[in-house]
Amino acid sequence: MGRGEKAIMNVKNCVVTCVVLSVSLFSSVFVFADDSEKSSEMRGKYLVEFGGCNDCHTTGYAPSGGATPEDQWLLGDSLGYNGPWGTTYPTNLREYFGNLTEEEWVVRAKTLQTRPPMPWWSINVLTEEDARAVYRFVRSLGVKANEVPAYLPPDQVPALPYLEWHVPAE
């Protein structure tokens, strides 16, 4: 091989190496993005489990000791919570988040306030990252319809089943 040919081979090798390098760099960026999306979802699952969201928002979750399969999580419940505020029903969160963008949720989570017994103050303290994680996890479960009864004001007696909260007089 002459000197000229060798030089051409070197350039060719270099080009091949560069292409291989850049393709692998490019794909590792994508793998990384995919991983961080997945780990945000996993963190969301952890927050949902530790935050007790299923205790109220998933039918039968607490009585089963947390054994309800994940595909039935957070579909809301028709077990009412009756007290001086009227009767509230845990929202179907899979539909709720399906009707919100992640950005809308990030803003809403900071100021969310509901009737009892929803612990809305726990949502207010979520960092932006954790609010996103909760959103991503719930969205990963998929939107699924499941109608829960509408809120009833204090002067209306709810149909069974409901839990009655007796609040001591001040």
Counts of helices then strands in the chain (DSSP H, E): 6, 3
For 109, counting Cβ atoms within 10 Å of its Cβ (0-12 exposed, 13-18 middle, 19+ buried), the class is: buried
56 makes contact with ligand HEC (CB under 6 A): yes
83 makes contact with ligand HEC (CB under 6 A): no
82 makes contact with ligand HEC (CB under 6 A): no
Contact set for ligand HEC, span 149-168 (CB under 6 A): 151
Q: Which of 10, 22, 24, 114 binds ligand HEC (CB under 6 A)?
A: 114
Taking only Cα atoms into account, the Rg of the chain, rounded to an integer number of angstroms, comes to: 26
131 makes contact with ligand HEC (CB under 6 A): no
Rounded to an integer, what distance in angstroms lies between the CA atom of residue 129 and that of residue 131? 6
Q: Which of 44, 83, 90, 158 binds ligand HEC (CB under 6 A)?
A: 90
How many CA atoms lie within 13 Å of 146's alpha carbon, on the beta-carbon side? 20
CB nearer to ligand HEC: pick between 69 and 99: 99
Region from 2-10, 63-71, 89-97, 160-168 binding ligand HEC, contact rule CB under 6 A:
89-97
